[in-house]
Structure 1
Amino acid sequence: MQQEETNRKYGGVQFLSQMIYFSFGPIGGAFFAFLASITAAWLIDPGELGRVSLFTTAITLTTLVSNLGLDRAYMREFASSKNKEELLYNCLCVSLCTSIVASILIILLRQPIAGLLFDNSDYLSIAILAVILPIDIIGEYSIYTCRLYGNVKKYTIASIIQQLSYLIYIVGFYCLGIRGYRTIIFARALSMATKSIVAVFLEREHYCFFGKLNKSIITSALRYGVPYMPALICSWVLNSMDKYALRIWSTYDEIGFYTSAFTIVSVLAIVRNAFNSFWTPLAYKWYDEGEDVSYFEKVGDYITVILIVLSSLIILLRNVIFKIYKPEYSHAANILPFLLFVISMETISYVVGCGINLKKKTIFNLVATASACVINLIGNYILVPRMGGVGASISTGMSCMAYMLIKMFISRTIWYKFSIIRYLINILLITAMSACAIIFNSIFVDVCFATFIIIYNLKSIYGIWAIMIRFVKKRK
């Protein structure tokens, strides 16, 4: 009984403790990524930055497809697996084999891919895409392993090293006389390779380099992971359709503005990455151990308040932030408000939609993402030709909100009926603030909205502050 009281008393402290520890890496990584983004913006024109952005989305897609959802299966089965090294070996081997096949296809289809991404015949960059794919997959599995074993120091090192090396490589290539978007592409590829090498070295004791393939493990992992694939691909489409819509209906310059605005969203990505680093295994653990659902509700409330308040402050300061970019990037400030939804709504969905994964009804992930994709496609078709990057951000932001809401209502139906009033009011407030920021672009209106959002969430902010105080006292 006493132990139970202790757990209840310090449950929030333990939650915040994990989030703070796992945020060290994302904070450091985001800092260097932000510096790298500003450096890139000063070194190349918006159109060139647009080509880099399309290259990055291509890497994301090929990595996602090559994994076959086995990375998700690895995380899901990790806690219950008796031989974790064997689980890692089997999942990684299959992902590596599919990545090699994907790399071969990329080389064979280099001409149309180069035309789509760069509007030229840059086969060297396509070759880099093919080579870096299997290397990046190894690095990603190593990052997952750091998270699952709860090794904060290793996770922090691996998270920071990629973005720090990215910044160093950008400056280095530029000093060597390599100009244009290739400067950034070469730097990106080498930084991913650096991350993979460091991450594998850090987690080397968990790798079984000469193991045997286990048919039952592979079959079980594929049965769990492959049904994820349509949902994951739809998720990629949801998050990348905007850039390709701009490629089709607008210009590379607009993609560059859009990309620079997305960099500011990295502030919210710090919270998302830190939260996601431990939330997925923790949610499975709580569910398997039969923890009270009030824990899930409190986490959902706190993470929503953190994201909504941060979003309102970023919108308030958006014009000041873009003063550090070259003057031609100032247009990106109008693109920023709705782009914040991409991170905030996705992160909130981790909690409000977790019932889908806990109940192993992963088909509903496909329902949510496919519905959001349709909304995004229609929105991009209507808005991008008329409004360029601003239209793409509105379409993407609203479709991400739809994605979160669909997952929330499905989760309530198949799990338990948690309260949604505060979620809906917060979403309504930040949506109204984003719309008014684009329409009026008035600091007075922004201040009024930000103030009202803080006042509405004051009780939760006080709760978060109280937990932080207890966390500090506990550490002393």
Structure 2
Amino acid sequence: MTPKQIAVFAIGPVGGALLGLISLPVITWFFSQEDVGRMAMLQVTVGFGILLFSLGLDQAYVREFHEAENKPALLKSAMLPGLVMLVIMLLVLLAFGGALSDMLFDVANWHLSVLVAFALVANYISRFLSLVLRMNERGLAFSMSQLLPKLLLLVIIGGYVAIDAEKNLTNLVLANTAAIGLVCAIYGWNTRVEWVAGIRTRLDIEKLKSMLRFGLPLILGGLAFWGLTAIDKLFLRSLANFEELAVYSVSVSFAAAATILQSVFSTVWAPTVYKWASVGKGLENVHKVTRYILALVVLGFALAGLLSWVVIYFLPSNYAGVQWVVVSCIGFPLLYTLSETTVVGIGISRRSSFSMLAALIAFVVSLIGNWWLIPPYGAGGAAVSTCVSFWVFFFLRTEFSIYLWKPIPRTLLYVFTLVCVAGAVVFTLWGEVLRGWMMGYWLAVLAVWGVVFRSESREALGFLVRKVKREA
């Protein structure tokens, strides 16, 4: 994949993260805090629907794509079983009236259940059709399909404001469902040749069995990682209330700025490192890249700690707690990105079971942490639990990679990340009391960062200066 192609594919994740950073804070001004919290449950459910009902066949589709002679038939084999199961399950739930919406929103309404069911089906279909674009390297269509739903959501919310529509749960669910439906329609139009041809093909049962043998074992690891990123919201739903869930969701949306680094790096890094491995050259650069990402991670934590107070100017007064919670929330994207640089040994050795084990152990840590911390600390407890869990995830991926491949320098990695995570934990739980001390703490971290990473800073600055001069 060329740098231009990589850039085109990165437009979607980066633009989506930026629009997500805007959309949820905007929604907080027009909808109740409880309803904003309820929307988090919709997002959790939509993600779980893809993970569970895809049966791992989305990964099998990617694995088999380049070797398959009849790619539309491959799409049908991958997509159809889970879609049938999902539709049957939803029809059963809808037969009980508002049971589905009651489970998610604590509001028993049949029309809300229908909207949720539509969102689940549309999002499932979108997942597979997006893979068609991705595997055919149609980067612009892939990226635009990710951006347009976020834009539509903002347009619909703006329309509600313009016509003074009622700001209730039904309209908020409708806006989100319409956005999901739009992306499905766009994917459907852009991939119409493939799925229409797939409908006309016969289902290859033997091929399906082969794909299931590959895909089903991946569900366990996927469930563990989903749990690691979603269990905090489920615990908040059951152990706290929707108001705390809203504070946490808005904090996560601000922390999504850090997912830009994650999205861009993940797009570029995996193809590059496996290309190095295939030719046996360039792997010495892994350590250098790890230091650069570590520098960005530490800088991200320090700046978040120093500047988190800015977010209160973009939110209603009942979201004041976001300024403390957001610092721990950035732990997920930052530590996950760092772990992508240290986990290369697992990928090179093709021992993916170790990645699954790391996710399972971190998930257990998250379960214990959420159960322990949410009752006394609410959204702050959920953020701290997730942040600590992702440090455990990063630590285990690093150690497993070393065990399977070769040693890497890691003292600096562990010291700096522990300092940042410990600071984030204290900041989130007791930052309001220790406000002045915490500002001093993050300034000290920033000062040490300037000394330790001075060579990386000079190199990065020199690169930017040279690039500006060339373009001038």
If the length of structure 2 is used for normalisation, what is the TM-score?
A: 0.87
Structure 2 Cα separation of the partners of residues 201 and 469 of structure 1? 43
Farther-moved stretch of structure 1 (403-412 vs 347-356):
347-356
Q: Secondary structure at the match of 1:143?
A: helix
- Counterparts in 2 of 1:412 and 1:100: CA distance versus 1, 3 Å: farther
Deviation, structure 1 residue 258 = 0.7
Partner residue in 1 for 2:361: 371
Please tell me whether residue 96 in structure 1 is matched to residue 83 in structure 2. Answer: yes
**What residue identity is the alignment partner of 1:143?**
S
Q: Secondary structure at the match of 2:165?
A: coil
Asked if the contact 2:50/2:127 (under 8 Å) is kept, the reply is: no
How many residue pairs get aligned? The number is 463
Unaligned residue ranges in structure 1 (runs of 5+): 1-10
**What residue identity is the alignment partner of 2:176?**
R
Deviation, structure 1 residue 154 = 2.1
Q: Secondary structure at the match of 2:19?
A: helix
Asked if the contact 1:66/1:102 (under 8 Å) is kept, the reply is: no
Partner residue in 2 for 1:459: 455
Asked if the contact 2:14/2:263 (under 8 Å) is kept, the reply is: no
Asked if the contact 1:238/1:376 (under 8 Å) is kept, the reply is: yes
Selected match of 1:133 from 120, 144, 147: 120
**What residue identity is the alignment partner of 1:233?**
L
- Counterparts in 2 of 1:302 and 1:101: CA distance versus 1, 3 Å: farther
Structure 2 Cα separation of the partners of residues 448 and 306 of structure 1? 16
Superposed CA offset, 1:434-453 (max 9, x none): 13534322334333323333
Farther-moved stretch of structure 1 (19-28 vs 343-352):
19-28
Asked if the contact 1:312/1:433 (under 8 Å) is kept, the reply is: no
Please tell me whether residue 41 in structure 1 is matched to residue 35 in structure 2. Answer: no
Structure 2 Cα separation of the partners of residues 465 and 254 of structure 1? 41
Partner residue in 2 for 1:58: 45
Please tell me whether residue 410 in structure 1 is matched to residue 392 in structure 2. Answer: no
Partner residue in 2 for 1:115: 102
Q: Secondary structure at the match of 1:43?
A: coil
Please tell me whether residue 303 in structure 1 is matched to residue 289 in structure 2. Answer: no
Partner residue in 2 for 1:163: 150
Q: Secondary structure at the match of 1:417?
A: coil
Structure 2 Cα separation of the partners of residues 159 and 27 of structure 1? 10
Please tell me whether residue 218 in structure 1 is matched to residue 231 in structure 2. Answer: no
Structure 2 Cα separation of the partners of residues 91 and 227 of structure 1? 15
Unaligned residue ranges in structure 2 (runs of 5+): none
Selected match of 2:181 from 169, 193, 196: 193
Superposed CA offset, 1:356-394 (max 9, x none): 344343332332222112111111121111111111111
**What residue identity is the alignment partner of 2:157?**
I
Q: Secondary structure at the match of 2:320?
A: helix
Please tell me whether residue 450 in structure 1 is matched to residue 446 in structure 2. Answer: yes
Deviation, structure 1 residue 260 = 0.9
Alignment of 1:332-351 (within 5 A): 332-351=322-341
**What residue identity is the alignment partner of 1:48?**
D
- Counterparts in 2 of 1:198 and 1:458: CA distance versus 1, 3 Å: farther
Please tell me whether residue 434 in structure 1 is matched to residue 424 in structure 2. Answer: yes
Farther-moved stretch of structure 1 (61-70 vs 151-160):
151-160
Farther-moved stretch of structure 1 (22-31 vs 341-350):
22-31
Farther-moved stretch of structure 1 (388-397 vs 432-441):
432-441
**What residue identity is the alignment partner of 1:74?**
Y
Q: Percent identity?
A: 21
Structure 2 Cα separation of the partners of residues 78 and 313 of structure 1? 43
**What residue identity is the alignment partner of 2:39?**
V
- Counterparts in 2 of 1:227 and 1:130: CA distance versus 1, 3 Å: same
**What residue identity is the alignment partner of 2:420?**
I
Asked if the contact 1:260/1:332 (under 8 Å) is kept, the reply is: yes
Selected match of 1:325 from 315, 339, 347: 315
Selected match of 2:56 from 69, 73, 84: 69
Asked if the contact 2:256/2:330 (under 8 Å) is kept, the reply is: no
Deviation, structure 1 residue 131 = 1.8
* Greater RCO structure (CA 8 Å; 6+ sep): 1
Selected match of 1:270 from 253, 260, 279: 260
- Counterparts in 2 of 1:164 and 1:220: CA distance versus 1, 3 Å: same
Farther-moved stretch of structure 1 (271-280 vs 63-72):
271-280
Asked if the contact 1:272/1:347 (under 8 Å) is kept, the reply is: yes
RMSD, aligned α-carbons: 3.0
**What residue identity is the alignment partner of 2:103?**
L
Selected match of 2:346 from 344, 356, 364: 356
Structure 1 Cα separation of the partners of residues 453 and 118 of structure 2? 48
- Counterparts in 2 of 1:115 and 1:325: CA distance versus 1, 3 Å: same
